[in-house]
Amino acid sequence: SVTPIKVLVTGAAGQIAYSLMFMIASGQMFGPYQPVILHLLDIPKMADALKGVVMELQDCSYPLLHSVVATTDVQTAFIHINVAILVGAFPRGPGMQRKDLLKVNVSIFKEQGEALNKYASRGVKVLVVGNPANTNALTALVKASDLPPSNFSALTRLDQNRAQSMISEKVGVNVDSVRNVIIWGNHSQTQVPDVNHGYILNYPNRGLIEPIQTSVNDDKWLNEQFIPLVQNRGATVIAARKLSSAASAANAIVGHVRDWLLGTKDGEHVSMAVYSDGSYNVPKGLIFSFPVTCRNGEWSIVQGLKINSSTQQKIDATTKELQEEKETAMSFLN
């Protein structure tokens, strides 16, 4: 029999987790033969709500769900985990300054970085979802000094999925035909959606592969509308739903972790915010969204893509924002 994989979800009584855990337990993340043990962490005031979620998980009778550890204790949550999905974070309240938000989240991700360092499996794969995701991931990474930086990532897959879905609508093809749209930089409104290396597969009557720009055939839309549509999609969902994206975030998390562990398809790359090694002149040591391919549980940044000047300007702006966030976060760590 296959050894169960231990998966931690923090923010387990929250909205995203309420979709995510059921996807994991049903086999969508690790495939139909891999049993899972779910470790669920939330804060003490959510302990009762968390119990309710555990009851619902039990009531699903998932054959792959080996067991559930639901807790408000950090050590119990982080012990021997193989995958950490860090969703819980402190939300920005009305009138709260960005800096104050960063400060509270630095304290959360400092504690969780230390817990990863002390208790998690040495090969643990960490995905940070809670915002500001890139900088929270960096905080955890810095505090987990015995773990390799390549074990850490932050989520920009939802932004990539949003972008690919918008392109598929515009062109009139199934979304599965839209490949290799890139999100560069921060998971914030400065993120850079980039279709210049993307293509459409099997576009009816147009051959096997066509660049997205050719299929869209509307540069004005691509330059002036598409980019802000993707950047503001999260806010647009909040305006409509009065709640932030949850099921689509869970779905993106599943795609991110599955591709990281099980590998990306030949000829295809996905966007993940990972520790910069200086590729594309992005300063080393930022958690920055790049196009990556994954094999044997390791990501590598796709090299050699030509960046045009308008994309480069936007990449410079998102880089600057991440450097400022990093400086602020690191000042709270010392």
Our CB check for ligand NAX shows the closer of 171 and 329 to be 329
Helix (H) or strand (E) holding 249: helix 247-262
Q: Could you give the C-alpha distances from 119 to 28, 70, 196, 227, in angstroms and in order?
A: 26, 16, 42, 41
State the Cα–Cα distance between residues 314 and 113, nearest whole angstrom: 30
Find the binding residues for ligand NAX in span 282-321 (CB under 6 A).
none
Q: Which listed range, 61-69, 95-103, 195-203, 243-251, lies at the site for ligand NAX (CB under 6 A)? A: 243-251
Is the separation of the CB atoms in 273 and 154 below 8 Å?
Answer: yes
Q: How far is the CB of 88 from ligand NAX (least distance, A)?
A: 3
Q: How far is the CB of 11 from ligand NAX (least distance, A)?
A: 3
Using rule CB under 6 A, residue 41 touches ligand NAX: yes
Our CB check for ligand NAX shows the closer of 89 and 163 to be 89
Using rule CB under 6 A, residue 91 touches ligand NAX: yes
Helix (H, G, I), strand (E, B) or coil at 209: strand
State the Cα–Cα distance between residues 24 and 67, nearest whole angstrom: 12
Using rule CB under 6 A, residue 231 touches ligand NAX: no
Q: Which listed range, 39-47, 119-127, 280-288, 297-305, lies at the site for ligand NAX (CB under 6 A)? A: 39-47
Q: Which listed range, 53-61, 83-91, 162-170, 193-201, lies at the site for ligand NAX (CB under 6 A)? A: 83-91
Phi, psi for 12 (deg, rounded to 5): -70, -15
CA 285 to chain centre: 18
Query: What string marks each residue from 119 to 138 as x (binds ligand NAX by CB under 6 A) or -?
Result: ----------xxx-x-----
Long-range contacts, stretch 264-267, CB < 8 angstroms, 24+ apart: 264/292, 264/293, 264/294, 264/295, 267/179
Using rule CB under 6 A, residue 14 touches ligand NAX: yes
Using rule CB under 6 A, residue 16 touches ligand NAX: yes
Helix (H, G, I), strand (E, B) or coil at 46: helix
Using rule CB under 6 A, residue 155 touches ligand NAX: yes
Q: Which listed range, 82-90, 137-145, 171-179, 304-312, lies at the site for ligand NAX (CB under 6 A)? A: 82-90
Using rule CB under 6 A, residue 54 touches ligand NAX: no
Using rule CB under 6 A, residue 246 touches ligand NAX: yes
Q: Among 38, 116, 158, 163, which residue interacts with ligand NAX (rule: CB under 6 A)?
A: 158
Using rule CB under 6 A, residue 24 touches ligand NAX: no
Our CB check for ligand NAX shows the closer of 216 and 233 to be 233
State the Cα–Cα distance between residues 136 and 108, nearest whole angstrom: 9
Nearest CA-CA partner of 272 in 289, 255, 296: 289
Using rule CB under 6 A, residue 222 touches ligand NAX: no
Q: Could you give the C-alpha distances from 141 to 26, 253, 298, in angstroms and in order?
A: 30, 19, 16
Residue nearest to ligand NAX (CB): 14
Is the separation of the CB atoms in 144 and 118 below 8 Å?
Answer: no
Q: Which listed range, 170-178, 242-250, 285-293, 313-321, lies at the site for ligand NAX (CB under 6 A)? A: 242-250
Q: Could you give the C-alpha distances from 197 to 200, 212, 303, in angstroms and in order?
A: 11, 8, 12
Rg (CA), the chain: 20
Number of residues that bind ligand NAX (CB under 6 A): 28
Binding region for ligand NAX (CB under 6 A): 10-11, 13-17, 41-43, 46, 87-91, 108, 129-131, 133, 155, 158, 187, 244-246, 249
